[in-house]
């Protein structure tokens, strides 16, 4: 499960980086494309204005200074090509009076007498004006307007291509990233499996020698008449150490079994319905004495009859571990509440305490093996850091999930989503 989360996280990070690079690339291409389209349009206007001016027969123009040149007609005849027709080309005389105009585009801007570009807003158009000079004498002005709609169309088309290209790239890229990440995590997965197998094997192998040590030291203590007091202490230390190792090996074996069954989809194959209400009641009874010692109040908030698809021993183990922790880490006169209700097609089981809480930095590590928030505190409370990993492995073994929220000094809440149902529903269904 941890590796699956890593896989998901790595895929997401890679896809995010890929998306960032792709969007930077697409933005650059789009901006470059837009500026190229603008430059092309400007070049086109300049070249039309230049050809109009260069087509003037200046000598003839001199003689008929007050006449009108036929330059426009040669550049943009009324029967011009369809590409040129939507434009506008105008000739102004030296005083700035409009003489001739051709083309269909409406052009209402006042004449700008210096050479340069202007933007018309309605209809959107780019306008270029150039004074026509002959032997240093101003003859008039050529003004060319071109609608921006064609350039906007080209820009829209470029954007469309970039978006559809990006969608294809993101889909293909994400699939590629998914498989590459899976491939690269395979060796890690293998070594984790080997490590887990080693832990389980070592725990299994340790069982026999520990049992032998425990049996022998217990026998020695039981028949310890005449034993020197120093020797008795040593045997007691051996027994206590061996008990700790025995607990540890049992926890490790339980964890290994739960994780193995979780990978095999245990819940779907073998689990049967158990009464949650009954198990919660019995867990609260078991925890009662320890809670009383610390003046803690235990509350149960389950208003209906619920059942879960979890084997009794596993359900007991979940409740025992979480209740033990709640009692251990809640100061005197605190409150522990167990609640459950149907939720998202299953059962939501919550165990909340008003204890010391866990820092948000520690919350990410809480389900790691052998991890304890405060080594000294946990040492005194006798934990080994395997309780929560076991609970998580069991919950996941049945296809459920567990989450924790906590605030330092205020308390901790464990929420589990478990497979299960309202008992009444099942009974009605099975009739
Ligand atoms: P342990 O046997 O040490 O309790 P667990 O795996 O059950 O091991 O818990 C790991 C650590 O998480 C604990 O050492 C403790 O620091 C922290 N923890 C667990 N439950 C609680 C809780 N209800 N309130 C505060 N801290 C908790």
Write the DSSP string, 147-187: ESHHHHHHHHHHHHHHHHHHHHHHHHHHHHHHHHHHHHHHH
Comparing 61-65, 151-155, 160-164, the range with the smallest average pLDDT is 61-65
CA distance 114 to 9: 61
Question: Higher confidence at residue 350 or residue 422?
Answer: 350
pLDDT for residue 68: 60
**Average of per-residue pLDDT across 183-203:** 89
pLDDT over 50 at 376, yes or no = no
CA distance 355 to 83: 80
Alpha-carbon separation of residue 132 from 223, 326, 425 (angstroms): 125, 92, 93
In the block, tokens 């610390």 appear at: 294
pLDDT over 70 at 37, yes or no = yes
Whether the model clears a pTM of 0.75, i.e. scores above it, the answer is no
Listing DSSP states for 354-409 in one string gives -SS---HHHHTTTTSTT--S-HHHHHHTT--S-HHHHHHHHHHHTT-EEEEEEETT
pLDDT for residue 134: 78
pLDDT for residue 36: 96
Nearest atom, ligand 1, residue 326 CA: 23
Is residue 366 within 6 Å of ligand 1 at its C-beta?
A: yes
In this prediction, residue 71 has a pLDDT band, given cuts at 50, 70 and 90, of: low
SS3 13: helix
Query: How many helices (H) and strands (E) in the chain?
Result: 12, 13
Where is mean pLDDT largest: 70-79, 129-138, 305-314?
305-314
Share of the chain above pLDDT 70, in %: 87
Give pLDDT tens digits for 323-342: 999 999 999 999 999 999 99
pLDDT for residue 60: 57
In the block, tokens 């522990």 appear at: 336
**Average of per-residue pLDDT across 167-179:** 95
CA distance 362 to 357: 10
In the block, tokens 């459920």 appear at: 400
Residue with CA nearest ligand 1 atom 11: 372
Is residue 405 within 6 Å of ligand 1 at its C-beta?
A: no
Largest pairwise CA distance in the chain: 145
pLDDT over 50 at 77, yes or no = no
pLDDT for residue 339: 96
SS3 143: strand
Give pLDDT tens digits for 285-312: 999 999 999 999 999 999 899 999 999 9
pLDDT over 50 at 427, yes or no = no
Give pLDDT tens digits for 257-284: 888 877 776 665 667 889 999 999 999 9
Alpha-carbon separation of residue 394 from 257, 269, 317, 387 (angstroms): 9, 15, 9, 11
Task: Look up residue 4 and give its two tokens.
Answer: 């699956």
Of 415, 416, 394, the C-alpha closest to 406 is 415
Count CA within 13 A, CB hemisphere, residue 100. 19
DSSP conformation class of 342: E
Nearest atom, ligand 1, residue 385 CA: 8
For the beta carbon of residue 149, count every other beta carbon within 10 angstroms: 13
Three-point CA angle 297, 303, 306, nearest 5°? 110
Is residue 326 within 6 Å of ligand 1 at its C-beta?
A: yes
Listing DSSP states for 213-240 in one string gives HHHHHHHHHHT-TT--HHHHHHHHHHHH
Comparing 38-42, 101-105, 310-314, the range with the smallest average pLDDT is 101-105
Pocket test residue of 252, 323, 372, 403 for ligand 1, highest count of atoms within 8 A of CB: 372
Question: Higher confidence at residue 40 or residue 4?
Answer: 40
**pLDDT averaged over the chain?**
87
Is residue 305 within 6 Å of ligand 1 at its C-beta?
A: no
**Average of per-residue pLDDT across 50-69:** 64
pLDDT for residue 58: 63
pLDDT over 70 at 76, yes or no = no
Task: Look up residue 7 and give its two tokens.
Answer: 């896989």
Taking only Cα atoms into account, the Rg of the chain, rounded to an integer number of angstroms, comes to 42
pLDDT over 70 at 180, yes or no = yes
Residue with CA nearest ligand 1 atom 23: 326
Is residue 421 within 6 Å of ligand 1 at its C-beta?
A: no
Is residue 383 within 6 Å of ligand 1 at its C-beta?
A: yes
Alpha-carbon separation of residue 39 from 45, 75, 152, 354 (angstroms): 10, 21, 13, 70
Share of the chain above pLDDT 90, in %: 57
Question: Higher confidence at residue 55 or residue 291?
Answer: 291
In this prediction, residue 61 has a pLDDT band, given cuts at 50, 70 and 90, of: low
Comparing 135-139, 346-350, 425-429, the range with the smallest average pLDDT is 425-429
Question: Higher confidence at residue 161 or residue 203?
Answer: 161
pLDDT for residue 66: 54
Task: Look up residue 183 and give its two tokens.
Answer: 């491939």
In this prediction, residue 353 has a pLDDT band, given cuts at 50, 70 and 90, of: very high
Is residue 395 within 6 Å of ligand 1 at its C-beta?
A: no
CA distance 235 to 311: 38
């Amino acid at each position: 499960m941890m590796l699956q989360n890593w896989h998901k996280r790595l895929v997401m990070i890679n896809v995010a980086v890929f998306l960032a690079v792709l969007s930077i690339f697409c933005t650059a291409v789009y901006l470059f494309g837009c500026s190229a389209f603008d430059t092309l349009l400007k070049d086109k206007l300049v070249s039309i204005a230049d050809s109009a001016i260069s087509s003037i027969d200046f000598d003839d123009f001199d003689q008929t200074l007050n006449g009108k040149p036929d330059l426009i007609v040669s550049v943009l005849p009324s029967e011009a090509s369809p590409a040129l027709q939507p434009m506008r080309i105008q000739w102004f005389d030296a005083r700035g009076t409009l003489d001739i105009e051709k083309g269909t585009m409406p052009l209402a801007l006042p004449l700008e007498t210096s050479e340069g570009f202007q933007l018309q807003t309605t209809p959107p158009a780019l306008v270029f004006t150039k004074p026509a000079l002959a032997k240093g004498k101003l003859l008039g002005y050529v003004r060319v307007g071109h609608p921006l709609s064609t350039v906007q169309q080209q820009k829209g088309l470029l954007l469309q291509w970039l978006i559809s290209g990006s969608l294809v790239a993101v889909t293909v890229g994400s699939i590629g990233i998914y498989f590459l990440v899976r491939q690269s995590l395979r060796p890690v997965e293998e070594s984790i499996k080997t490590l887990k197998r080693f832990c389980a094997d070592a725990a299994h192998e340790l069982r026999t020698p520990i049992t032998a040590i425990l049996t022998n030291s217990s026998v020695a203590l039981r028949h310890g008449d005449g034993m020197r007091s120093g020797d008795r202490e040593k045997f007691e230390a051996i027994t206590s150490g061996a008990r700790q190792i025995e607990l540890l090996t049992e926890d490790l074996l339980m964890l290994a079994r739960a994780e193995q069954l979780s990978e095999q989809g245990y819940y779907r194959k073998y689990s049967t319905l158990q009464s949650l209400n009954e198990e919660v009641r019995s867990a609260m009874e078991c925890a009662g004495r320890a809670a009383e010692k610390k003046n803690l109040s235990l509350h149960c908030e389950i208003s209906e009859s619920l059942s879960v698809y979890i084997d009794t021993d596993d359900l007991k183990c979940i409740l025992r571990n979480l209740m033990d922790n709640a009692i251990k880490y809640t100061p005197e006169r605190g409150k522990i509440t167990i609640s459950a209700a149907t939720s998202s097609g299953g059962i939501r089981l919550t165990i909340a305490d008003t204890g010391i809480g866990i820092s948000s930095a520690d919350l990410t590590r809480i389900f790691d093996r052998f991890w304890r928030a405060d080594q000294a505190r946990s040492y005194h409370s006798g934990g080994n850091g395997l309780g929560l990993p076991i609970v998580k492995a069991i919950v996941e073994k049945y296809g459920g999930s567990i989450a924790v929220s906590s605030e330092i000094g205020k308390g901790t809440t464990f929420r589990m989503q478990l497979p299960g149902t309202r008992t009444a529903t099942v009974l009605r269904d099975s009739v």
